Amino acid sequence: MKINIYYGGRGIIDDPTLFVLGKLQEVLDELNVRVERFNLYELKNTITTLPASINDSDGIILATTVEWFGIGGYMQQFLDACWLYGNKEKFETTYMCPVVMSTAPGEREAMTDLTLAWELLGGLPCSGLCGYVEDLVSFELNQDYLGIIEKKAENLYRTISQKFKSLPASNKAVNKISGGNRNIPLTPQESEQLSKYAADESYVQKQREDIEELANLFRGKMEHRGIDENTLYIADFREKFKPLSGANGVYKFLIKEKKKPLILDIKGSELNCYYGNYDDPEVLCKVTDDVLNSIVAGQMSFQRAFMSGNMQVKGDFRRLRMLDQMFAFSNETNI
C-alpha cells in the first residue's frame, strides 16, 4: 500500500500540522505502508505536475494549516491542478483523508472544503482530522491527542485496505451532469510549460503573432490550391504589374521548392512571366515558396524580405526597389 501526503502549509517550525503528519507517518510506517510526502511550498514551481504523482498511490492525505483564513494558496493551487490536469478516473478509486490544524478559527470549515473539493474531483473522502492548537508544546505532550492521531492513521489504513464503501454524494452526481470532469489532454511536462509561459505576456504575444502569420500563409496556400505548379504566381504578377519608366530588365527568382526558376522579363509596358531559365539576369533573387507567397499575399514587400534576410539578392540593387513599385502587392509605405 502507498499513501501520498500533500502538505500545503508554509513549513514553519512551530506548525502543528507538521507534528501531526509526523505521528501519522510513524504509525503508517509500522503498518508497512509506503509513505511519500510532497511539501507544496518547496514544489511551488511544479505544482501543475503533481497530480500525476497520485496515479501510483492507493490513498492520499491533504494536509494544511489555517493561519488566518482558509486552506492556503499552495493547497488551492494543487487542487486547481488536479481539476485541470489530474486523472479523474484514478481519483474515483483513491481515498483522501483531510488533515487541518489551525492557529486561528476555521479549521472545521477548511476540512470541509478539502472534503468537498475531493468529492467534486470524483474521489473518495475519508473521515478527517482537524483541531485548534494554541500551545504547540502542551499539544505535543498530551497523550489523549496522540491517541486520537494514532487511531486516525489506523482507521485510514483499514479504510484503504478494505476498500470501505460510502453512500453516493450529490457533488459527484451534479459534477457528472455538468460535464465538469473532462480532462485537458496534457502531459505533466506540457502542463508545467503551460503554467510557466501562460503568465509571460511577451511569450503569449509572440505566440499570437506566430499563429496569425501561419494562418495567413495557410490562407495564401489555400488560394493557390488546384493551380498548376507551372503557372503558380504568374497570374499574381500579371495582375499587379504597373509599368515603370526605365524599368527594363530581367528578374530571375530561384524558388527553393521549385525545379525551374521564375522569370520576369520586363520591356517597357510588356511583362513576360514564365518558368524557365535565363543565363544573365539583371537581378537574381533566392527565396522560399513561403516567403514569395507572403509577398504576393501582401504581407511583406520585396524590400523588407531582402532587409530581413528572407530573400537573397544578387545584381543591380536599384532594380530591386523597382519591384515594389511595379508590383504593388504590399500596402507598406516604406518600400
CB 65 within 8 A of CB 102: yes
43 with 17, same domain? yes
DSSP category for residue 56: G
More confident residue, 205 or 17: 17
- Provide the 8-state DSSP code for 181: T
Please check the confidence at residue 275 and state whether its pLDDT lies above 80.
yes
* Nine cell digits for residue 71: 486552506
Its domain, for residue 196, covers 190-223
- CATH number assigned to the domain comprising residue 251: 3.30.1050.10
pLDDT at 329 (0 to 100): 83
- Asked if residue 178 has pLDDT above 70, the reply is no
- The predicted structure's pLDDT at residue 167: 76
* 228 within some domain: no
pLDDT, tens digit, for every residue of 187-198? 555 655 655 555
Report the C-alpha gap between 295 and 289 in whole angstroms.
10
Tell me the C-alpha distance between 255 and 289, whole Å.
Answer: 6
Residue range 36-65, pLDDT digits in tens: 999 999 998 899 999 999 999 999 999 999
Q: Which amino acid is at 228?
A: D
Asked if residue 172 and residue 140 are part of one domain, the reply reads yes
Q: What is this structure's pTM? A: 0.55
Q: Residue 145 is placed in which grid cell?
A: 491527542
Give the chain's domain count. 3
Shared domain check, 131 and 55: yes
Do 256 and 113 fall into the same domain? no
Does one domain contain both 308 and 180?
no
Decide if 332 is inside a domain: no
Confidence of residue 110 (pLDDT cuts 50, 70, 90): very high
Asked if residue 42 belongs to a domain, the reply is: yes
Residues 22 and 140 in one domain: yes
Residues 252 and 313 in one domain: yes
Does residue 79 have a pLDDT over 50? yes
Task: Quote the percentage of the chain above a pLDDT of 70.
Answer: 81
Q: Do 50 and 129 belong together in one domain?
A: yes
Pairing of strands 129-132, 124-125: unpaired
229 occurs within a structural domain: no
Position with higher pLDDT, 206 vs 306: 306
Is 70 exceeded by the pLDDT of residue 269? Answer: yes
- In this prediction, residue 334 carries a pLDDT of 45
CATH number at residue 43: 3.40.50.360
